[in-house]
Structure 1
Amino acid sequence: MNDAATPLPPGAQLLGREWLGFDESGHALIRFQAQLDFTNRHGTIQGGFLAAMLDSATGICALAALTSELTVVTRSLDTRFLKPASVGPIIARARVTERTERDMVVHAELVDAEGIIVADATAQLRILAKK
């Protein structure tokens, strides 16, 4: 899986998504860039942008585990906002936790520049053949 090998979709471009690879524990690592334009009235990143990062991270993690003939769509995204997030880089750590022939469950967390988990999510994904 390498975002650099294919054109990024507009949403991924907006979020500043960059595929970093896998860490030693097998988690997919994806960097996002939280922009000033993503802030709410409190000066922190609005939850919808964090949810979009988590949705993107869980999907990319799932795709990394599949063959090129398959894709996934998100069926549900159970998201928790744990701490306020600031403008700047945010790293997603994602891992497939369950998989059947038709479905996949992926858990992801967003970590800020200080190493604090600011949000996490569990995604239920449907595996589909590419058209």
Structure 2
Amino acid sequence: MIDVSDAATDMPPGAQLLGRQWLGFDDAGETALIRYQAQPSFTNRHGTVQGGFLAAMLDSATGICALAALSPNLTVVTRSLDTRFRKPASVGPITGRARIVVRTDREMIVEAALVDAQDVTVADATARLRVLQRK
């Protein structure tokens, strides 16, 4: 299993921008929990979080969930991300909940949802990820 804890020195710049914090798995060990911090600079002309930032959070959540299930010699890359925007998202904490629904030696399908501080789902996605040898 890959260590996906967010040590500041190893966190990718995109994850830093999104304020990503790995929270671990739920009590059943099936759903990865990741917190993001939506900044005022992420908002659109309506004052809500722009969809591209939500998609980046979903891509991050699906990827880190997959990485947490892999051996250290493997990694994943996103092949597709089917994103659905459900409700406007506000500035502040947003929690990603991701789980693997299909896993083979070469591919993973991971579903994720983003929920706001009131536990309202603001967006969700299904990602198809390719499993690769780490270089």
After TM superposition, is the score higher than 0.5? Answer: yes
Paired AA for residue 60 in structure 2? S
1:2, 1:90 → 2: CA distance?
18
1:28, 1:94 → 2: CA distance?
5
Unaligned runs of 5+ in 2: none
CA shift, 1:5, in A, is 7.4
Q: State which of 22, 26, 29 in structure 2 corresponds to 1:23.
A: 26
Runs of 4+ in 1 over 2 A off after TM superposition: none
Q: State which of 9, 12, 28 in structure 1 corresponds to 2:12.
A: 9
Q: State which of 59, 83, 86 in structure 1 corresponds to 2:87.
A: 83
1:5, 1:70 → 2: CA distance?
22
Q: Aligned residue pairs: how many?
A: 131
Task: Output the aligned Cα RMSD.
Answer: 1.0
2:55, 2:77 → 1: CA distance?
15
Deviations 1:2-51 (A, max 9, x none): 12275111100000000000012320000000000000000000000000
Unaligned runs of 5+ in 1: none
TM-score, normalization by structure 1: 0.98
2:112, 2:91 → 1: CA distance?
20
Deviations 1:74-110 (A, max 9, x none): 0000000000000000000000000111000000000
Aligned to 2:40: 36
- CA 1:4–1:40 in structure 2 vs 1: closer, same or farther (change >3 Å)? same
